[in-house]
Amino acid sequence: MERSPTTSGRSKRESPSLVEQTHRRKRRRIVTVESEIHVHENRYEISSSSSRRWGSSSHCNDERQRRRSKTEFVDSYRKWVFSPHDCSRYKDRVVIVSYNILGVENALKHPYLYHQVRPQFLNWDWRKKLIRKELNHYKPDILCFQEVDHFSDLADLLQKDGFKGVYKVRTGKANDGCAVFWKEELFTLLHQESIEFQKFSLSDNVAQLCVLKMVNSHSDSNRCANSQIPQSTPSRSILVVNIHVLYNPKRGDIKLGQVRLLLERAHAISQEWGNIPVVIAGDLNSMPQSPIYQFLASSSLDILLHDRRKISGQIEHERGSRPLTAQLEDAHSDQVPISKLLAYRWSEEELRLAAGCDGVTQLQHHLKLSSAYTGIPGSYHTRDNCGEPLATSYHSKFMGTVDYIWHSQGLLPVGVVETLPVNILRETRGLPSEKWGSDHLALVCELAFVDDSRVT
């Protein structure tokens, strides 16, 4: 019995041809590949004020990207994401990078951390070229590096891109240190000093504090246009702080003491230069939401509520033990007496190192700080529940976040560069890699001076 077109479900004229079917299958494959590659998409439109620096992807670029392999797409995950708020009225801005670039000697001394990394990718001549190429992509104004042990080499390389820098080497046997670079055409160095923590019995780490002034800021133009503003008022200045905190997870007393001392000095310098805004960048060797992180964010910390061995959140808890955060949650719900939490034993010497003087157990600082990344909403593929990156460092023994950029109230985050999704990081089997020149990922943010009518 012959079926009519209405009962057969589709007429012969409506049936797709073999060519059309093939085309559709190819299109489906393209869409599938795109969905695998683009694990995370920016959820916010790039504002017109931000596009002047980075622009947006064109249809032609998308077509070229579709033809690349998945491995070639690794760098496309590191994209700018921007504030959902209108920041166009804030004209004076600065792009800051914090980057632990992996000391050459450190890589040689700890080969077990990089046993899955090809030797070529650990070679400094290879890595420094990747680092420079990556930095040029971000178009930074200020660079904060940690684990620098080839400063002259790095300075010569960055000089080609218009940067000038200062360096502070660690005390003791280690040869690496911290370095701050700035674009000479954009900033002038007004003041610099460093902290040698060894002088305070706080290990051999160091920190840098640099006051930089914008050469040509919008506040300059406003001052010239308004004769009522004193001509002696200085232009936009910013205090840039760079630190590499002690690694040893068990010495929370020293780690906390380093952070406490740094915050004290940063606040003092900010006041000396007219309450200028502060940026604190570096490898803090502390996990998000750890007691050290909370101290930075909340400006206070009760030392006796925390185990010094877990104050940075780095140590994995022993099998069967409960995390300190869970204990604190129980304390708030009256399930565990506070007196039990106060049982952590701190010696008088440990308390003195952490607090800076005898008899003090409650720490406070006067800088009202915010983490740049938590100020810009991002993708769940790269951020934790609090907005911090899921991972800023990855080698055979560790994957997690220890690097940060903090800023004071005088600055507002306009945008940040997303870190790599964890699944993409795992595909590298460890950093450095063919694409990335360190075992850390660079943190990048654009910060705006929040009041363009007020000259600091």
Q: What is the pLDDT of residues 324-344, one digit of tens each?
A: 444 444 444 444 444 444 557
Q: What is the pLDDT of residue 218?
A: 66
> Residue 184: what are its φ and ψ, rounded to 5°?
-60, -35
Average pLDDT over residues 442-456: 78
> Picking from 42-56, 207-221, 225-239, which range would have the lowest pLDDT averaged per residue?
42-56
pTM of this prediction? 0.78
The contacts of residue 371 (CB under 8 Å, 6+ apart) are 296, 297, 387, 388, 404, 405, 406
Q: How many CB atoms lie within 10 A of CB 429?
A: 14
The contacts of residue 449 (CB under 8 Å, 6+ apart) are 90, 92, 93, 217, 219, 236, 277, 410, 411, 412, 456
Residue 274 has pLDDT above 80, yes or no: yes
Name the packing angle between helices 151-159 and 124-138 (round to 10°).
40
- What tokens were used for 391? 């991972």
Whole-number CA gyration radius for the chain: 26
Residue 208 has pLDDT above 60, yes or no: yes
Among 423, 211, 388, 400, which residue's Cα sits nearest to residue 314? 400
Residue 297 has pLDDT above 80, yes or no: yes
Check residues 455 and 81 and name the one with the higher pLDDT.
81
Q: What is the pLDDT of residue 216?
A: 87
Residue 91 has pLDDT above 50, yes or no: yes
Check residues 171 and 323 and name the one with the higher pLDDT.
171
Alpha carbon 191 to chain centroid distance?
Answer: 24
**pLDDT range class, residue 217, cuts 50, 70, 90:** confident
**pLDDT range class, residue 286, cuts 50, 70, 90:** very high
Average pLDDT over residues 290-299: 98
Give residue-wise pLDDT tens across range 380-390: 999 999 999 99
Q: What is the pLDDT of residue 423?
A: 95
Q: What is the pLDDT of residue 222?
A: 55
Mean pLDDT of the chain: 82
Q: What is the pLDDT of residue 320?
A: 37
Average pLDDT over residues 222-246: 69
Average pLDDT over residues 169-192: 98
> Picking from 43-57, 106-120, 344-358, 400-414, which range would have the lowest pLDDT averaged per residue?
43-57
Q: How many CB atoms lie within 10 A of CB 163?
A: 21
> Picking from 202-206, 312-316, 320-324, 376-380, which range would have the lowest pLDDT averaged per residue?
320-324
Average pLDDT over residues 251-270: 98
Q: What is the pLDDT of residue 311?
A: 96
Residue 448 has pLDDT above 60, yes or no: yes
Check residues 146 and 333 and name the one with the higher pLDDT.
146
The contacts of residue 355 (CB under 8 Å, 6+ apart) are 257, 260, 303, 361, 363
Q: What is the pLDDT of residue 21?
A: 57
Residue 162 has pLDDT above 80, yes or no: yes
Task: Return the percentage of the chain with pLDDT > 90, whole number.
Answer: 71
> Picking from 148-152, 219-223, 257-261, which range would have the lowest pLDDT averaged per residue?
219-223
Q: What is the pLDDT of residue 278?
A: 98
Q: Helices in 111-173 by DSSP H: which ranges?
A: 119-122, 124-138, 151-159
Residue 174 has pLDDT above 80, yes or no: yes
Q: What is the pLDDT of residue 235?
A: 73
Among 443, 428, 372, which residue's Cα sits nearest to residue 138? 443
Average pLDDT over residues 116-128: 97
Residue 251 has pLDDT above 60, yes or no: yes
**Which domains are assigned to the chain?**
20-74 (no CATH), 79-314+325-449 (3.60.10.10)
Average pLDDT over residues 33-45: 34
| Rounded to 5°, angle at Cα 244 from 241 and 249 | 135
3-state secondary structure 280-346: EEEECCCCCCCHHHHHHHHCEEEHHHCCHHHCCCCCCCCCCCCCHHHHHHHHHCCCCCHHHHCCCCC
Check residues 26 and 449 and name the one with the higher pLDDT.
449
**pLDDT range class, residue 296, cuts 50, 70, 90:** very high
Only one residue has tokens 């940075």, namely: 312
Q: What is the pLDDT of residue 23?
A: 52
- What tokens were used for 296? 């930075």
- Quick check: 96 and 416 in contact, CB under 8 A? no
Burial class (CB in 10 A: 0-12, 13-18, 19+), 165: buried
Q: What is the pLDDT of residue 377?
A: 97
Check residues 17 and 305 and name the one with the higher pLDDT.
305
